[in-house]
Amino acid sequence: MGALHALSRSGREYHRGHPGRRREEKDDRLSKDDLPEDRLSKDGLPVTEEEYWEKYYNDPDFVYEWRNGYLEVRPVSDQKGSETCQWFCDILRCYVRTHQAGRISTLDIGFRMALPGGTSIRRPDVAVVLGGNPVAINDDDCTYQGIFDLCVESLSHSAKREVERDTVYKKKEYRGAGVREYYILDARGTETAFYSLGAGGQYRKIRLTGGIIISGILPGFRFRVSDLYRKPSLEELAEDPVYYDYVFPSFKDVRKELALEKKRAEKESSRAEKEKKQAEKESRRAEKESRRAEKESRRAEKEKKQAEKERRRAEKESRRAEKEKKQAEKERRRAEKAEKSLASEKRRAEREKAFEIARTMFANGLEAAVVMKCAGLSPGEVAALEREA
């Protein structure tokens, strides 16, 4: 690398080893007059096309373009513009990689345009050669021999003429050469524009659809203009319907599978929850039945005990009744015995009385026949009494 970057787009001195950082030491700052001749910008220098290709196309310090015999140095981009251009390159690479749509080149690769008003050699910040382009770009090419299908320029705001170079002159050149789409990216949003080559060979602005640019030559390539300034990550874009068809498209299938898996899991969870509730309901019912059965068991046990108590009481009553029955039978037999004894005593007393009457009658001299009739005794008994008398 050279010692100095030379005068940058703002005209200030910058250290080559740290592009964009101004040297702090006042005494060490070098002016244009202090720089070696071969380290000064040759912007505006008249040279032939042959000289351009030979000396300036691969200049180590400056990126030169060539227009109608004059060198034009490409201005240095600022960080904001660089990040905007890089973000666009990232999504464009995703698209080309996903669709195998062509090849992307950067400002290292220039291309020649032979126009009615002269010849220009431009080095777009980003360019695309589609597969259908009649001129292919090869791995070893340092220049492109055809016309790019898409050119993208990241706008520099260092000077009015540099703004006009991208918005006026390059636009006219790209249109004349047949560049099918031309995008101007302005990190500040002032000059951002998107053009498509119409049937009449004129550029027309691509209309926004809901704030989205849709390419006419890259099927499926679309992006939000606002995202140029917001610069969301590719991971975020992979979840965005505007981009997910070409930014990590496999994520879409993964997302679908995850969504299906989520639905399956939710369905399974719902089924499990339903079964859980059913099981809990069955458990409560079983618990209720268990309590009822236990209550019935206690009631049956109580009734069993009560029945046993009643049985024992009945047995006791039966034994008591049997005892009473036996006692009554005993009493009956005793009464019968007493009755028989009484009847016997009565008969004995009556016989004694009859004997006494008979004795009295025999004593009074009555005859045996009268005594037997009156006393009611048998002839033998009367005869025995008569002998006693």
CATH code for the part of the protein at 78-248? 3.90.1570.10
The whole-angstrom separation of Cα 302 and Cα 223 is 85
Q: Considering only 14-23, 101-110, 282-291, which range has the smallest mean pLDDT?
A: 14-23
pLDDT digits 0-9 by tens, 331-370: 888 878 878 888 788 888 887 888 888 888 878 888 888 8
Report the C-alpha gap between 91 and 238 in whole angstroms: 10
Q: Percent of the chain at pLDDT above 70?
A: 89
**Cα atoms found within 13 Å of the Cα of residue 85, Cβ hemisphere only:** 23
Render pLDDT for 304-314 as a digit per residue (tens, 0 to 9).
888 888 888 88
Does the pLDDT value for residue 38 go beyond 80?
no
Q: Domain segments of the chain: what residues?
A: 78-248, 254-388
Which of the residue ranges 121-130, 149-158, 174-183, 321-330 would you say has the lowest mean pLDDT?
A: 321-330
Q: How far, in Å, CA of 56 to CA of 32, rounded?
A: 20
- Please check whether residue 88 is in contact with residue 150, taking contact to mean a CB–CB distance below 8 angstroms: no
Contact status, residue 382 vs residue 373, Cβ threshold 8 Å: no
pLDDT classification of 389: cutoffs 50, 70, 90:
low
Say if residue 61's pLDDT is above 70: yes
Helices (H) and strands (E) counted in the chain, each on its own, are 9, 15
What pLDDT, on the 0 to 100 scale, is given for residue 213? 98
| Distance in angstroms (rounded) separating the CA atoms of residues 171 and 179 | 9
pLDDT score of 384 more than 60 = yes
What does the pLDDT look like over 193-224, one tens digit per residue? 999 999 899 999 999 999 999 999 999 999 99
Look at the pTM and tell me if it is higher than 0.85: no
Residue 14 has pLDDT above 80, yes or no: no
Please, which contacts does 168-172 make with residues 24 or more away whose CB atoms are closer than 8 Å?
169/67, 170/122, 171/195, 171/203
